[in-house]
Structure 1
Amino acid sequence: MSAPVELSTTTAPHNTPQDDATAKPAPKRRARNRRADGERSRQRILDAATSIATERGYDGTSIAEICRECGLPASSLYWHFEDKDDLMSQVIGKSFDAWNAAWNIPEDEDILQHLPQIAEQLLDALENHPEFIRLCLPLALQKRSDDPGPRRMYLEMRADVIRRLSDIGATHFGYVPEARRTAIVTYMVSGVEGLFVDHEMNPASDLREQLDLHAMGVIAIILQEASQHPS
């Protein structure tokens, strides 16, 4: 008679919910991690491009230098940006949007008494977000056959600023002749650009002091016009 077969009492191992959770990330979590990693890489590239281009300008900035600065391969850069033109346009657009969002002039207030505070708000925003003007102004002054995207972008942004300031002038100083308001806005914008050009040629100059003086001159002109053309 054969010996009885001994049945094993060992049960098959099974995963607990905790084991399942730690075994490998869920698909949604992996997707979130990839997106977060991608956004961090994109920001590193933008930061590196901003740092180099602010110091060396558009033409002095190369893809190779940007990759060395951010520690990422060129393939990563081209994953996020089509080319150097696209990357620099993103840098400029981000700077301009930050500057544009950092100041506001209410439409329903008499702003004559607040012109110094408004000027300070504008200049603080420009001091904190100067990249768009530092990078693009030299390009705007050049006549180039390639006409890079950042140059076109700056001219469009400049026109937007002039329109915004012109609308503010029409709202608060509609009694001043339109041609005169246009001349004041043009003087305001061109004066700021001229001081940035001067600072590029003479880096030792105090740019903020020069901008403050320019703002004082613009305020004096506005007050004079307001007194000559009472509402």
Structure 2
Amino acid sequence: MSTARPTSPGPGDEREMSRVRILTAAAEIAAEHGYEGTTISKVTKRSGLPASSVYWFFRDKDHLLAEVVRHSFEQWIAAEPRWERDPRDGRSLAEGLRSILSRSTRGLPGAPDFLRIGHMLLLESREVEAEARQYFLATRDAVASSIAAWFTSHFGTGLRARRPELAMDLARIVIASTDGLFLAHQIDEAGDPDDFITIIVAIVEQAVADAG
């Protein structure tokens, strides 16, 4: 009986491992020193890889940090509950919203790199807008559109016609609220997330009731 041997990483696997090492090092340094304090020399020292390896994957620091945001966002979104409503799902808007937020808020204390770096760049005023900032804003727009579509799926035809902007307004409230919870976790313990979810669900329910 033959035993299968573990395969050694191929050239492509090794390249990807090097790329992830660089991204991880850059994310750690950006968290510690900010955008301006992140340099290629610090990244090479932290990752243990030469500058030539960094420039093989990334054209400059701006491109590198944009890829940190993208890589972190893709990992985060893959683990997040989808803002997609199954037509067979009989739960109310409040029940569905509570279910999604109960899962999505659990990952906030872990401080996903794209959130940390993205918020940092949003607060910086730069002559030339960083590529990472542009990508972060684009991801927020995409997430907001997904949440708005989810809210719209719960609205009747009349409400959609009377208040076409309501779904996006509620999506922005959800994003702004989770932004606040994320920042609270970075400052100190943010309390019981279930209390936070109860408040957000109540705000959304009242807004929909007032609009109806």
- Please, what TM-score do these two structures have when normalized by structure 1? 0.74
Task: Rate the CA distance shift 1:114–1:194 in 2: closer, same or farther, 3 A.
Answer: closer
Partner of 2:167 in structure 1? 181
**In structure 1, what is the equivalent of residue 81 of structure 2?**
103
- Measured after TM superposition, the shift of residue 196 of structure 1 is 4.0
Q: CA deviation at 1:181?
A: 2.9
Query: Residues 109 and 182 of structure 2 are in contact (CA less than 8 Å); yes or no, is this contact kept in structure 1?
Result: no
Paired residues for 1:1-231 under 5 Å? 33-101=10-78, 102-107=80-85, 108=87, 109=89, 110-111=91-92, 112-128=94-110, 130-174=112-156, 175=159, 177-197=163-183, 203=187, 205-207=188-190, 209=191, 212-228=194-210
Q: Which one-letter code corresponds to 2:59 in the other structure? A: E
CA distance in 2, matches of 1:228, 1:124: 30
Query: Aligned to 2:134, what secondary structure does the other structure show?
Result: helix
CA contact (8 A) 1:162 1:185 kept: yes
Structure ID, larger Rg: 1
Tell whether the 8 Å contact from 2:25 to 2:43 is kept in structure 1 after alignment. Answer: yes
- Structure 2 gap ranges (5+): 1-6
TM-score w.r.t. length of structure 2: 0.79
Runs of 5+ in structure 1 lacking a partner? 1-28
Partner Cα separation in structure 1 for residue 73 and residue 111 of structure 2: 7
* Greater mean deviation of Cα atoms: 220-229 or 137-146: 220-229
Using a 3 Å threshold, how does the CA distance of structure 1 residues 210 and 65 change in structure 2: closer, same or farther? Answer: farther
Report if aligned partners of 1:192, 1:211 keep a CA contact under 8 Å in 2. Answer: no
Q: Indicate how the Cα distance of structure 1 residues 227 and 38 shifts in structure 2: closer, same or farther if over 3 A, else same.
A: same
Q: Is 177-186 or 149-158 further displaced after alignment?
A: 177-186
Task: Count how many residue pairs are aligned between Structure 1 and Structure 2.
Answer: 197
Q: How far apart in 2 are the matches of 1:45 and 1:62?
A: 12
Q: Deviations over 1:84-139 (max 9, x none)?
A: 11111111011112222221144222343243221111112444562111101121
Structure 2 distance, partners of 1:82, 1:189, is 32
- Do the aligned partners of 1:162 and 1:186 also contact (CA within 8 Å) in 2? yes
For residues 135-181 of structure 1, what are the alpha-carbon distances to aligned partners after superposition, in whole Å with 9 as ceiling and x for unaligned? 01121123310211011111111111111111111111343633333
Contact 2:121 2:133 in 1 (8 A): yes
Partner residue, 2:3: none
8 Å Cα contact 1:96/1:129 also seen in 2 = no
Q: Which has the higher contact order (CA 8 A, sep 6+)?
A: 2
Matched letter for residue 45 of structure 1: I
The 4+ residue runs of structure 1 with deviation greater than 3 A are: 125-129, 194-200, 210-214, 225-230
Code of the residue aligned with 1:188 in structure 2: it is: V
Deviations 1:180-231 (A, max 9, x none): 333222222123324444555xx2x214x3765443221012233455566x
